[in-house]
Amino acid sequence: MVKPGESIFSIARIYGVSPSKVISENELSNPNNLAVGQTLVISKENRQHMVAPGESLFYIAGIYGVKVKDILAANPNITNPSLIYPGLIINIPQNIEKLGTIKVNGYAFPNIDINILNKTLPNLTYLSIFSHEVRPDGSLSTVNDARLIRLAKESKVAPLMVITNIEEGGSFSSSLGHTILTNNGVQEKLISNVIDTLKAKGYYGLGIDFEYLYPTDKENYNNFLRKVTQRLGDLGYTVTTALAPKISSEQKGLLYEAHDYPVHGALADHVIIMTYEWGYTFGPPLAVAPINEVRKVLDYATSVIPSNKILMGMPNYGYDWTLPYVQGTAATTLSNTGAVNLAISVGGRIEFDDESKAPFFYYYDSSGRQHIVWFEDARSTMEKLKLVDEYKLGGVSYWTIGRHFPQNWLVLNSMYNVKKLL
């Protein structure tokens, strides 16, 4: 955590690493300017080893007590492990004890910046491409997803097709969901179209994100899931569903009531629990995913769903509210790195809330209005990722990966190995 008067150079000296390493790993756009309270991720320097005659990667890994796959990850220039040669300099990663191997899903829109996608794919198990919108007749909107599917597979990431009850050009629709879930003919057409798309495009599985369903459609949704999981499971495809963050089976509200945790947990291969949006665009200033609230959701979820099926939602964004907050006014969405850059530009001092385990700061704009910004940093990321091990979850799911947040991936990879399925 940056203290008053500190610089990249003084911080690097404290930890015995090069300033350039801190700058490049944290991808700092202006390393000469830091915000007080800003977090930096400092990873230890890799050691180097010169290959001697007769040495193999397996032998070298044994010398340093690391795994061959970790050496390969630290040396992307080694494309054939059996063809190392005497005199080759290889980086030996630090032997950090990790908490285990998890699955990591990232939602992406088809127009994601390809550079950001390529930086992110090594950290993912699944890429969920958002989204094929379901039409009232069971047909699907078209998605320009061929490039994303190809790049995902090249990085051994399993691409997931996502269907939603979003009206084309609109938002999630309760009435559209009702039409789909109460008409067997529409469902049969939809399932056939899904299967055709999965086969034609080479998807690994299906993600279902039906939100704001009428409470009276709870059993209709359950029955639809029974059909889908049976049909797709027989063909070898996985099914993942997205669930609202409930803390009990009796939780009221249009977002929650039709999402039946025990049924989804029994039928789906994975469930993504959307543990974010306590702080949201038209709501009062709050942390987006306060850990005390996330815990309440996980306490309930793990009591009715096998924990290894759960992917905990991770928000990759923050909000900027104008104060005093007036109900109905909108906050501005910003990236986590954008929040830090804003703090730097306005001289904001970043603080950390112990209850929510999230960073925030205040500032005044050019018109003299006070603002508060809540976002995610390396500390809040680490606190959330600890929950994966504590609750023995299957992994995490990011909404979305469109805004690059390098510190997140540094922290995640220091704590867990990421499972690859391809």
- The catalytic site residues sit at 211
The dihedral over CA atoms of 36, 37, 41, 42, expressed in degrees to the nearest 10, equals: 60
175: number of CA atoms within 13 Å, CB side? 3
Omega within 30 of 0 (cis) for the link into 400 = yes
Neighbours of 244 (CB within 10 A): 21
Q: How far apart are CA 286 and CA 105, in angstroms?
A: 25
Contact 30, 335 (CB under 8 A): no
- Sequence length of the chain is 422
Contact 208, 241 (CB under 8 A): yes
Contact 34, 345 (CB under 8 A): no
Residue 145, classified by CB atoms within 10 Å of its CB into exposed (0-12), middle (13-18) or buried (19+), is buried
Q: How far apart are CA 317 and CA 376, in angstroms?
A: 7
Pairing relationship of beta strands 238-243 and 358-364 according to DSSP bridges: unpaired
Nearest-CA neighbor of 202 among 246, 236, 167?
236
CA distances from 239 to 47, 112, 346, 367 (A): 43, 24, 46, 50
Q: Which residues, other chains included, contact 306 with Cβ-Cβ below 8 Å and sequence gap of 6+?
A: 265
Phi, psi of 21 (to 5 degrees): -65, -45
Tokens 């955590």 locate to 1
Phi, psi of 361 (to 5 degrees): -155, 160
Neighbours of 115 (CB within 10 A): 9
Phi, psi of 171 (to 5 degrees): -130, -175
Q: How far apart are CA 218 and CA 96, in angstroms?
A: 46
